[in-house]
Structure 1
Amino acid sequence: MGAEARTTLKIGRQSYEGTALLETDELRFRGDTRMRIALRDVSAVSAKDGTLRVEHANGIACFVLGDVAESWAEKIRSPRTLADKLGIKRGMQVAVIDVDDRDILDDLEAKGAQLIIGSVPQDTMVVLFRIGRPSQLATLSAMTSRIARDGAIWVVHPRGDASVGDTVIFAAARDAGLTYTKVVRFSEHDTAEKLVIPRTAR
């Protein structure tokens, strides 16, 4: 969902081998140790000779990333918002179904989206549809008939719950005449799958 790279993490005199993941709102490390740095806690970031240096609330962490170090530094300096990753643009009509995270909705409104809560008007460009049960996917066909031909339905689901996992969503999408194109990290606990009408059917 975000950027991922094998790396050596250096904290003081200690070095750890593992994988670094740069997400929408945090930088994580998994390997010989684990670390999570919220991007809001980063006070300074720089890249030199392939090493990303991150100053944060609990100290300094250096990630040996090679050629991608500078691009990661730039992403941390100017992070893309969730609205950017969802393809939301100013003036776009966005239908919101069962998404009640106020911070996320505020982010969409700050981007200039026109939010429609609880329904999907005809020719809607984007639908945000959060599910917690497989039975909710039965409404995909009705939503498909109401979105713009080049619109999208983002199905938001809890990570780690196989009953509403991606394979379940993809099967329901096929039945509704949709195809999967993209996945993003929606929040700390949720993932979003992008479903669209295939080009051949538009």
Structure 2
Amino acid sequence: MSDLCNPEKPLIDKLGIKPGLRISLLGIRDSDFLRQVLPQVANPSQHRAVKGSDLIFLGVESKEQLQRLAPLRKYLVANGNIWVIYPKGQKHITQADVMAAIKEAGLVDNKTCSFSVTHTGLRACIPLAMRGGNAASTRR
């Protein structure tokens, strides 16, 4: 996993949110984040993943909810990302748990970011060697 997000950039920039991207929001309840994202994105999908997503945000509060990660891979464009948003500093769900779930889903983690005062984001993507057959077309 590489770099921590730059604390001086706005959150939506740190997370790679740009106009024109297809974004799926699953289990994200942070109203400040939603207020920032929704005006930036033409047709965000809330509560379900859509095929051809450039970015998927998956909010989880427990290890059990990490099981939702693996099926999301098929909704990504080849160079898309899934941000797993989970509570900071908790024993019931740790960064190691999230990283293990990412690996189990056949993804690789490549960035971490402070999502909010209470939550961290860990970004996952399809490994370069596996892009193409298991994901929708590439966009961006």
- Provide TM-score, normalisation by structure 1: 0.60
1:185 is matched by which residue type in structure 2? S
| Aligned pair partner of 1:151 in 54, 67, 80 | 80
Task: Give the structure, 1 or 2, with the largest relative contact order (CA under 8 Å, sep 6 or more).
Answer: 2
Gaps of 5+ in 2: 132-140
SS of the aligned residue for 2:44 comes to strand
Deviation at 1:111, TM superposition (A): 2.9
SS of the aligned residue for 1:168 comes to helix
1:109-120 alignment runs, 5 A limit: 109-112=38-41, 114-120=43-49
Q: Which has the larger radius of gyration?
A: 1
What is the CA–CA distance in structure 1 between the aligned matches of 2:129 and 2:118, rounded to whole Å? Answer: 34
SS of the aligned residue for 2:124 comes to strand
| Contact 2:67 2:101 (C-alpha < 8 Å) held by counterparts | yes
1:125 is matched by which residue type in structure 2? D
Gaps of 5+ in 1: 4-22, 24-74
2:20 is matched by which residue type in structure 1? G
**Cα 1:172–1:160, aligned 2, differ >3 Å: closer, same or farther?**
same
What is the CA–CA distance in structure 1 between the aligned matches of 2:92 and 2:12, rounded to whole Å? Answer: 27
Higher strand share: 1
**Is 1:85–2:14 an aligned residue pair?**
yes
Structure 1 window deviating more from structure 2 (97-106 vs 181-190): it is 97-106
| Contact 1:94 1:113 (C-alpha < 8 Å) held by counterparts | no
What is the CA–CA distance in structure 2 between the aligned matches of 1:152 and 1:2, rounded to whole Å? Answer: 15
Deviation at 1:163, TM superposition (A): 2.5
**Cα 1:170–1:111, aligned 2, differ >3 Å: closer, same or farther?**
same
**Is 1:127–2:56 an aligned residue pair?**
yes
